[in-house]
Structure formats: C-alpha cells, structure tokens
C-alpha cells in the first residue's frame, strides 16, 4: 500500500520561505523528499535559506521576488517549469503586519494610517491572490495541484488594535473558499485549495510586542497567553504536520 503522504518527486514552491513558519515548513517538506523552491523578497535571506537547505538535500532552488509583483512571479513560474517541468504545491507563506495598520498603545481608533492599512491588505491579500493566479495555471494544465494559504486566528476572532492584518486574513479565508470552489467546478477534483489559521507564534515581527528583553511576557503577551489553553505560544514545528496533511496529493490508487 502506498504512503499517502510520500512527497518524493513533488515540487513545492513556498513564498515567505525565508521566514519562521513558511521557512521551517519548507525545510521540513524538503526533508520529506520534495524538491522545494524557496521564494523570498530579500536576496541575502534567500541565499542563506538555500545554504541551509543544501544541507538537507540537493532538491532545492530559490528565487527572489515580491509577492505582489505579478510580472516577477510569472517569470519565476516559467523558470521553475523550464527547470523542473512541474509544480505540485504552492504554499503562500509571505505575510505580515505594519505598525500604522495597527492602533498603537495610547492611540485612538481614528489614528489608523490608511497608507499602511492599504499596504498590509496588499501584502497579505494580493500577495496570496497573485501567486495563486500565477501558479494555478499549471495546476489547471496538470489536472492536479495543491495550494495552502496562511490565514490567522485573527480572521475570525477580534484581535484588539490589529485591523488591517485581520481584514486581510479574513479576506484570505474568503478567497480560499472561492478559489477552491471555482477550481473544483471548472477543473475537477485534482486541485485543492486550503488555508491554515495559526494562533500566536513568536517571529521577528511580533517578538517585541509579546516578549520583554528579560524573557517575561509583555502585557499584550500575557493577554494572549491567558486566552490560550496550553498557556504558551505555538512552536513552529506544530504547523508542519498540518501542512503535510493538507498536501495529500491525489493519490487515490492505493
């Protein structure tokens, strides 16, 4: 009987692959036998990710691009197809917040910076929609493919002060349902689109908001922990299995 979770020979493109959650997931999936394409915005960080990836196996490559740049993504998509001939999975891991799209301490609701608000919507929402539209063309041609988006618990629960990011992640939930329905109706049962909604994991973006320099929780960090039954932040490896499960790629002939 086949191992339904075997990833050998699969090609997996990961955006935000220089970050904590998507970067860790990318390495985990490569270690399971997939060829992983590390996509990041910063050349130095992509180079570093690739150096580390090469210690896992030779099944890796990397490209630099902004996830909101459809022309750059088209070019990279073509390069991957020319080099590897197929793409099985797209993981949309790039995302994040900006101070102006959040109501800072001591600030009023009406102090929202609309410029930063728009940038956060663009990064998280368009930065998921654009790579999806680019790579899903190949999934359509292949009749198979798998997309995993990063939503957040803030999509469905009110996270005080955090408006732009929560709006964008709620829209990712909506987009995920829309895209999965359209793909299924138009192209059959080989293409799946899902999202995961992590709670709080410490990353460079939120560390200072949640943890003091002496390792204790900030007031905000403590509020989060109070609402978390495990009474701790997430560990990055806790998302790997969830994503692996979502990648079960049309292997029905067991």
Ligand X SMILES: NC(=O)c1ccc[n+]([C@@H]2O[C@H](COP(=O)([O-])OP(=O)(O)OC[C@H]3O[C@@H](n4cnc5c(N)ncnc54)[C@H](O)[C@@H]3O)[C@@H](O)[C@H]2O)c1
Return the bridge partners of 38, or none: 14, 62
Phi-psi region of 145 (alpha: psi -120 to 50; beta: other; left: phi over 0): left
Give the chain's length: 254
Among residues 74, 198, 220, 244, the one that binds ligand X under rule CB under 6 A? 198
Which residues in 22-61 contact ligand X (CB under 6 A)?
Answer: 22, 40-42
Q: Which of 28, 38, 165, 240 is catalytic?
A: 165
Residue 92 DSSP label: E
The count of chain residues that interact with ligand X, using the rule CB under 6 A, is 28
Shortest distance in whole angstroms from residue 21 CB to ligand X: 3
With binding defined as CB under 6 A, does residue 201 bind ligand X? yes
Task: Return the SS3 of 41.
Answer: coil
Among the listed ranges 66-74, 81-89, 176-184, 216-224, the one in contact with ligand X (CB under 6 A) is 66-74
Whether the CB-CB separation of 90 and 67 falls below 8 Å is answered with no
Among 205, 217, 238, 248, contact with ligand X (rule: CB under 6 A): 205
Per the annotation, the verdict on 165 as an active-site residue is yes
Closest CB to ligand X among residues 127, 145? 127
- Cβ closest to ligand X, residue 40 vs residue 145: 40
Q: Is 203 in the site for ligand X (CB under 6 A)?
A: yes
11, 28, 95, 164: residue in contact with ligand X (rule CB under 6 A): 95
DSSP element (H, E) containing 135 = helix 127-142
Nearer to ligand X, 89 or 144 (CB): 89
Dihedral over Cα of 176, 67, 112, 107: its sign: positive
Residue with the CB atom nearest ligand X in the bound state: 19
Based on the shown chain and the rule CB under 6 A, indicate whether residue 123 belongs to the binding site for ligand X: yes
Give 216's DSSP letter: P
Query: Is there binding between residue 16 and ligand X (CB under 6 A)?
Result: yes
Residue written as tokens 């910076």?
Answer: 113
Backbone angles phi, psi at 16, to 5 degrees: 70, 25
Dist CA 182 CA 176 (whole Å) = 10
Interface positions, 130-169, toward ligand X (CB under 6 A): 150, 152
Site for ligand X (CB under 6 A): which residue of 36, 46, 60, 94? Answer: 94
CA 127 from chain centre, in angstroms, equals 10
Distances (CA, A) of 16 to 39, 149, 206, 216, 219: 6, 11, 16, 28, 29
Site map (CB under 6 A) of ligand X, residues 214-243, x = contact: ------------------------------
Contact residues for ligand X, defined by CB under 6 A: 15-16, 18-22, 40-42, 66-68, 93-96, 123, 127, 150, 152, 198, 200-201, 203-206
- For the annotated catalytic residues, the residue numbers are 165
């Amino acid at each position: 009987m086949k191992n339904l979770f075997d990833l050998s020979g699969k090609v997996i493109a990961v955006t935000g692959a220089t970050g904590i959650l998507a970067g860790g997931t990318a390495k985990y999936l490569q270690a399971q036998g997939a060829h992983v394409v590390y996509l990041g915005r910063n050349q130095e960080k992509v180079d570093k990710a690739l150096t580390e990836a090469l210690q896992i196996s030779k099944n890796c490559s990397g490209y630099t691009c902004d996830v909101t740049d459809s022309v750059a993504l088209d070019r990279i998509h073509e390069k991957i197809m020319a080099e590897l001939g197929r793409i099985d999975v797209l993981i949309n891991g790039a995302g994040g917040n900006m101070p102006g799209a959040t109501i800072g301490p001591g600030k009023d609701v009406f102090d929202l910076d609309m410029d930063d608000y728009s940038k956060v919507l663009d990064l998280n929402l368009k930065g998921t929609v654009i790579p999806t539209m680019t790579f899903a063309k190949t999934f359509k041609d292949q009749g198979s493919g798998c997309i995993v988006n990063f939503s957040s618990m803030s999509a469905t629960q009110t996270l005080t002060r955090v408006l732009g990011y929560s709006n964008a992640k709620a829209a990712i939930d909506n987009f995920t349902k829309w895209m999965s329905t359209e793909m299924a109706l138009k192209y059959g049962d080989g293409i799946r689109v899902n999202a995961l909604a992590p709670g709080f994991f410490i990353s460079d973006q939120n560390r200072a908001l949640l943890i003091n320099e002496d390792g204790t929780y900030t007031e905000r960090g403590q509020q989060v922990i109070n609402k978390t039954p495990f009474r701790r932040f997430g560990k990055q490896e806790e998302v790997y299995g969830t994503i692996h499960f979502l990648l079960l790629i049309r292997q029905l002939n067991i």
